[in-house]
Structures are given as C-alpha cells and as structure tokens.
C-alpha cells in the first residue's frame, strides 16, 4: 500500500500521560479525538476466503493505524473495521496543533482507504459487494486520557463527552455522505489548514447543538514544499470516497436508524441557533444557512412520532402546499428534506411573532382593516391553487418587521382539534373559536370556511373579544351554527355589512371568494 501524502508539515508533539487505574480520578485534558469506521467491511470479508480475509483485516488495521501514528496520534481503541485515536500537545506549544494533525490524519486515512478500496474491488470483481468507504468524525474537546496500566501495546484509554461526539460525527458523516465530519470549533482550531465544504447542525440528546463542517481537502501551509499534486490527490480521494458512500447510503442509513431516533438529529446546510418552540409533532428551531442572510425556521419532526395520526403525510403536505404559492402574504418555504430519523422543513422566520400578541386590546380601524386586506390577499393566493387552510386563527397569522402579515401553518388535517382546556379561572382556551358552521357540523368545506374564520378574527380585532364564548365545546359549536352574527362596537358600525357577509351561517351567503372580499375591503375607507 502507498504510504500516503507527506505528513512532515505537521510535526507530532510528544505524549506524556501517567498510568491511571482509577478512571474516575483521571483529570480531563483538551485533546482532539478521531473516530473512523470502514463501511462495508463485513460484506467484503464474507466475500473473501479465510486467507484473503485475514490479509484484508491486517491491511485495514495498518491503514488506519499508520494514518494516526504518522501524525502523532495515539490509539485508544481498535476494532477490525474502526479506530478511535487521540491527538494532544505537550503543553509547551504556544499554538497547539492537535486539531490540525487530527484532521490531516482523517484526510490521509480516507486517501489510503480509497487506494485499498480499488484493490479490494479488483480482487472481488466477480462478487456483488458494495464499495468500501470510510467515514471519519473529528472533535476537539475535553476528555479523560490515560495510559493503559499493565499493557505493552502503547495504547491509551480515552473517554468522556468529546469522545462520544467524535463517534457521533462519524455516524453523521455516514448519514450525510461526507468523508470527514468535524465540529466547527475543531475546524477553526486547524488555523485555516483545511478546506471546508458543506455545513450543518447536530442536535444532541441534551438539546444543545454543535455546528458541523465537511472537510473536503487540505490547504498548504506557508512555505510548504509539498507538491500541489499531493493536495489534488487528497481532494480527489475525498470525492471518490463520498461517491462510494452515496452508492450504499440507504443501506448504511438503515444500520444507523436506531441511533438517530434516540433523541438527537442532524440537518445539512443549516446552522441551528436555538430552539424556539415545541409542538405535539414537531420542534421549531431558529437557524441560518451559514452564508449570510436573514435567519430562518427549521420545523423538525421525528419520524417515529410521525407515524401517529398521519403526521408525516401532514408534514409533507405542508411543504407541498406552500411550495405552490409565491405571495407576500403567505409564509415563504425554502426546502424540505430528510435525515435519518427526522424530516424537516426550512421556512421563513417571523421576528415579530403572530397576530395573537397584538390582540390583547382592540386594534384601531385602520390597522384592523390593513390586516384584513393582507389576510384576504393571502387567502386569495392559496385558494387560487386549490388550497383551503381550514385552521385560520391569530396564531397562524405571522407578522414581519415591516408590518406585513403572512398566513402560515398549513400542515393540518381536515379535522380540527376540539379539545378543551380549563385554566381553573373560568377561562376556556384551545376550543374551536374560529370554526365555520360547516366544520362544526362535520360537513365538507371549501374556501368559504376560511372566509368565516377570518370574519371571526375581524370581530376580535375590532371588538377586543371573541364573538362567541361558551362554557362547553358543544355550546360553542351550537353558537357557530345558530347564533346571530354579533354587532360591532359603534366606532366600527360601517364594517358591519362586511362582517355579516363574512360570518353568514350559510356558506352560500358569504363572499364567493377571498378576492371578492378583498375587492370589498379595498373599496372601504379606512
């Protein structure tokens, strides 16, 4: 096998750890941990004779070990198909270089694995074996590192949170079809000596996040004597390895599915900033795309939860519906994707929240009329492509900094929840205050049910209270079906004809379309 590109640019530092039988007493050190796994290792072994398999195992061990030790790393764990390594400094260096060396070792290991994969592919040309690929995770952090007592192997013990993150980054590399995945701080500590590719965020079981970076090559140092062709070869190897990962990605993903439904998730192309909400089916996170621009929202659903109540279908529907519409009064949606164990949607972020926050007191006529016009325009846009919102309410009317309003949250089933929650103070929340009579009766609905719901909100904006209040869901539904349209306060009497037509009990008596409503509102003086 080739010895790989020159490693002379990253001089290894000496290692000095005291033996420690009591792992709990081992002090933490800041180090860089590398975990690498060769995918399709078992399949290749099964396709070989016993003699060939033994030789193959030795080749893999030598490949992974040499990549680590040639850059000054030490082996903490070695399995036939994987390796855990530790890179530290001697404490005397002004600029610790263990992150540089660990990432360099990761790239060299991928280069060597590609050479090995070519040999194995030629050896097993007649066998139906998926291509070998290497996935590497690298993370700088605090961990417990000590010499193994009573051992002549020279290996060390390594454990701690940083070790587990490195392992998780390896599975992340596998899931995203990256060759090398590292945490953003580790990449930063490499002092510009690595070439970065895509970005992402990895959510951990404790609800914290780390930004992750794909390593796609090495960058020559100042005064480097390494030929440019060496760096080209490394970049090419990372790309070849990535293509091999994609070829068997779905099979590998299934192997790790159990891991990724255990409380964490990953997304590619976005940096998660913080969690901003939690629903019954999805978690909401503030994020950015790493290349500038305004923040956005990631709506993330665990697939094991999505099985319940057709959750995944509704989640996909939300993207499919919104993707058809490009209108300033409809929330913008950017992308939908899946990772192992999760589905997520990237959509517009509304820093000013929803309309509910504005309804603590009545709105003036001009503001209420402006919101009604914008909502009607948004409804006209979605109705034009055959979408009926079915769950229009203040919580789904989002506000931008410029004062514009946008309809949001289209991922609902046709049946609207009618659960009731008593606060203990006589207030009833969570009831279907905005349901149309036909929804209350369980009848088929069309776009005119959204017009009724908007009428309920129109009354609430102008009067400062909901049009119908009741002690039970049954009573409230009955009021939607039979109670007369309430009268607006005297300052807003001129809008009573509009409200009466929006909230007509018979849908045939309402505005025939949101555009017709908008036309009427446009003709109404503020």
Query: Which sequence positions are flagged as catalytic?
Result: 391
**C-alpha to C-alpha distance for 504 and 229, rounded to whole angstroms:** 76
**C-alpha to C-alpha distance for 212 and 116, rounded to whole angstroms:** 28
Alpha-helical runs (H) found in 388-510: 437-440, 447-463, 473-482, 496-502
Angle at 72 between CA 181 and CA 9, to 5 degrees: 80
Angle at 398 between CA 397 and CA 401, to 5 degrees: 145
In this structure, the strands spanning 209-218 and 271-278 are: unpaired
> How many other CB atoms are there within 10 angstroms of residue 116's CB atom?
21
**Which are the contacts of 315, defined by CB distance < 8 A and separation ≥ 6?**
281, 282, 299, 301, 306, 343, 345, 411
**C-alpha to C-alpha distance for 174 and 167, rounded to whole angstroms:** 11
The DSSP call for residue 471 is: S
Tokens of 60: 């893999």
The DSSP call for residue 173 is: H
* Contact of 240 with 179, CB cutoff 8 Å: no
Residue 235 phi/psi, 5-degree rounding, is -60, -40
In this structure, the strands spanning 133-147 and 271-278 are: unpaired
Buried residues in 324-348 as b, exposed as e (16+ CB within 10 A): ebeeebbbbbbebeebbbbbbbbbb
* Contact of 48 with 152, CB cutoff 8 Å: no
In this structure, the strands spanning 133-147 and 180-183 are: parallel
* Contact of 17 with 156, CB cutoff 8 Å: yes
Residues forming beta bridges with residue 147, ordered by sequence position: 19, 156
- H/E segment holding residue 373: helix 365-384
Instruction: Give 236-240's long-range contacts (Cβ < 8 A, gap of 24+).
Output: 237/107, 237/110, 237/111, 237/114, 237/115, 238/107, 238/110, 238/111, 238/179, 238/180, 240/114
Cα torsion angle, 79, 245, 188, 69, sign: positive
């Amino acid at each position: 096998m080739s010895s790989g590109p020159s490693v002379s640019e990253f001089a290894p530092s000496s290692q000095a750890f005291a033996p420690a039988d009591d792992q709990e007493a081992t002090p933490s050190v800041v180090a860089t941990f590398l975990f690498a796994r060769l995918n399709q290792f078992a399949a290749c072994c099964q396709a070989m004779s016993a003699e060939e398999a033994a030789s193959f195992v030795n080749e893999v061990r030598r490949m992974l070990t040499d990549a680590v030790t040639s850059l000054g790393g030490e082996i903490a764990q070695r399995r036939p198909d994987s390796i855990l390594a530790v890179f530290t400094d001697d404490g005397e260096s002004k600029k610790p270089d263990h992150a540089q060396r660990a990432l360099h070792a990761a790239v060299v290991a991928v280069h060597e694995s590609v050479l090995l994969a070519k040999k194995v592919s030629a050896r097993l040309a007649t066998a139906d074996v998926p291509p070998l690929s290497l996935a590497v995770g690298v993370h700088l952090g605090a961990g417990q590192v000590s010499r193994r007592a009573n051992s002549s192997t020279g290996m060390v013990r390594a454990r701690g949170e940083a070790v587990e993150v490195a392992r998780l980054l390896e599975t992340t590399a596998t899931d995203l079809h990256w060759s090398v995945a590292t945490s953003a701080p580790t990449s930063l500590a490499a002092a510009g000596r690595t070439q970065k590719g895509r970005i992402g965020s990895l959510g951990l079981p404790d609800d914290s996040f780390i930004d992750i970076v794909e390593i796609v090559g090495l960058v020559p140092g100042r005064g480097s004597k390494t030929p440019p062709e060496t760096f080209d070869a490394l970049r090419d190897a990372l790309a070849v390895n990535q293509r091999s990962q994609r070829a068997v990605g779905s099979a590998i993903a299934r192997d790790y599915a159990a891991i990724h439904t255990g409380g964490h998730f990953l997304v590619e192309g976005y940096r998660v900033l913080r969690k901003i909400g939690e629903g019954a089916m999805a978690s909401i996170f503030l994020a950015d795309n790493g290349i500038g621009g305004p923040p956005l929202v990631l709506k993330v659903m665990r697939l094991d939860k999505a099985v319940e109540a057709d959750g995944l279908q509704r989640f996909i529907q939300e993207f499919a519906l919104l993707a058809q519409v490009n209108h300033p009064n409809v929330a913008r949606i950017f992308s939908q994707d899946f990772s192992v164990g999760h589905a997520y949607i990237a959509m517009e972020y509304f820093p000013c929240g929803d309309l509910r926050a504005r309804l603590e007191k009545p709105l003036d006529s001009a503001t209420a009329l402006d919101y009604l016009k914008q909502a009607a325009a948004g409804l006209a846009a979605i109705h034009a492509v055959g979408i009926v919102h079915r769950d229009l309410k203040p919580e789904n009317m989002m506000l931008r900094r410029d004062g514009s309003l946008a309809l949001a949250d289209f991922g609902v089933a046709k049946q609207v929840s009618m659960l009731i929650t008593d606060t203990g103070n006589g207030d009833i929340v969570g009831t279907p205050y905005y349901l149309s009579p036909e929804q209350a009766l369980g009848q088929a609905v069309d776009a005119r049910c959204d017009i009724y719901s908007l009428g309920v909100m129109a009354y609430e904006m102008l009067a400062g209270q909901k049009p119908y209040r009741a002690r039970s869901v049954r009573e409230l539904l009955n009021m939607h079906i039979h109670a007369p349209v309430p009268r607006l306060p005297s300052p807003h009497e001129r809008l009573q004809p509009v409200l009466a037509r929006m909230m007509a009990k018979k849908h045939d008596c309402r505005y025939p379309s949101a555009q017709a409503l908008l036309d009427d509102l446009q003709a109404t003086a503020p």
